[in-house]
Structure 1
């Protein structure tokens, strides 16, 4: 996760919630408006005058406890959901890319492409069934983000995940930017009519993959904007 906080303009990169990991700080350049950067993987980062400062997770918690950080922006990826039992994409044998090898797809990302979906929707719906909201539960990381919201600290949450666990944890849609879409809506691929996700998925027979909107096939809103 990466967090951006104002008015002190801090940018944090958190690769997990457990443990007391050191975080390296580049001091803000006076008057430059640039963020301070934290990285768990960096042993030393030079800032103004070549100085650096180490932070522990407890130090970051203290920044928030004292409300030195009041507008936090968070960016999360697949790793936040793996403790909930959601596979990542690339882990050999267990990731979704490995699971999708049973289907005749030219490359794993094809299941997110409209042109491939129109030819063969089965791989997409198989993938969607596994990730459908309700099959998994939010974990401590999701509820930590919900806590940020409850405390009035969360400005925005950017996620590349489509599992809906951020919503399930209670974070409102107004705080979310779901970069790769979500299960919250479905759009007709021809008439472009937008449907509530619960209406679409309540009527789709996952095994049959034949869903129509006035005889027009529908596509879930999980395609990236570039592919759509």
Structure 2
């Protein structure tokens, strides 16, 4: 029998791997329904749904590997990052979903409260919070909504670089569509490059025109500021090298 490996687990949902099958368990049935709906509508590669028996969705493993891991240098080529940018553009150019992506309004609304919590509990220096709070304002700029993935972190983007250097780079799939819906495309680009700012130029090269770099940097700050308490409460370490707190520190360095 194949061993059962826990890929990720927290209070909201969990993903297990059994051989070449991933079992995603989500107690929120509406969210799970939206995820399946988004995967069906997205004009980009996704994992194949093998079967579904609420609260579980079984997904086939993707070919290749994740483009990077947060907190670790990426071994993926510039071509791979550009290919990821091109796939994100294809998603953003698709028909806009009728339902809103989850999370962005809550993040915006909670920004001041989370900043106050970080300072009041001596989690971060006041100056670091204050200056990132100012940078985060650029994320508030109104933009036309697009088909947004909503959680486009590097671990969710798989690439196959067989033949890299000859243009043979393939994005084999994008995982975890539970936050997908109508929203801000710059949030996706920021999520993909969070902690990997050195690859932003490669992603933009693949994505093409229309990238608001100030908004991307604003989302880096806003996402990190509003995530720290949640990460801590769910067993993750935002202080790990290269993760959210380091992202906030890097925001104060010259671009």
Q: Compute the TM-score of the two structures, normalised by the length of structure 1.
A: 0.29
Higher helix share: 2
Task: Name the structure, 1 or 2, with higher relative contact order (CA <8 Å, separation 6+).
Answer: 2
